[in-house]
Amino acid sequence: MQKLNDTAHKILDIAEFFTQTKGFNAFSYKDIQTEMGIKTSSIHYYFPTKKHLALAMTERYVNNFQIALLNIRDQYPSGVDQIQNMTEVYIDVVKQNKFCMCGMLASELTSICDASVAKLIFFFEVVQNWVEEAITLGQEQSLIKKDISAKATATGFVSVIEGAMLIARAKGEPEHLISVMNNTIGQLKA
């Protein structure tokens, strides 16, 4: 990702917020203009099209999420605690009445470029691989059942968290996500 200045980051902040709360196709550069108080030509200077905006937004989101996952891994030595704290990141998003940005963009694939789609796929692979590693660690620590496939369980785990986020958001009940994930994590424990 190229180095961006403060204005470009502010544009991305607003676009990310709109994407997570309304959807990528539900806002325009005019909406960003209104929010920032700058001309749409200034937005086009940094992001000539919405597809460029989606790619920059996705690259930044994926990078930030990877950093968050590394921080969790560094802070928590237990595989179970790592998974629980990664889940808290998703819960915090739902509590803000938002949705995972990559999950939201995945529902609007026809509106983004192939490079953005590749970044979305990469995001889900990163998260699945991270969860798989945390499960494997938990198995080595005898905290997670040893008779489950870490890879298959991680794939299912990410699917559950994204789906439960969607339902929690639709219901306006973050508690739904909390309940589903507590149950899912509970089923992993040895």
pLDDT at 86: 97
Express each pLDDT in 54-107 by its tens digit: 999 999 999 999 999 999 999 999 999 999 999 999 999 999 999 999 999 999
Residues 159 and 115: beta-carbon distance below 8 Å? no
4: confidence class by pLDDT, cuts 50, 70, 90: confident
Express each pLDDT in 20-67 by its tens digit: 999 999 999 999 999 999 999 999 999 999 999 999 999 999 999 999
Residues 112 and 164: beta-carbon distance below 8 Å? no
Distances (CA, A) of 58 to 3, 15, 117, 129, 137: 14, 11, 9, 19, 29
pLDDT at 1: 54
Give this prediction's pTM. 0.92
Helices (H) and strands (E) in the chain, counts: 9, 0
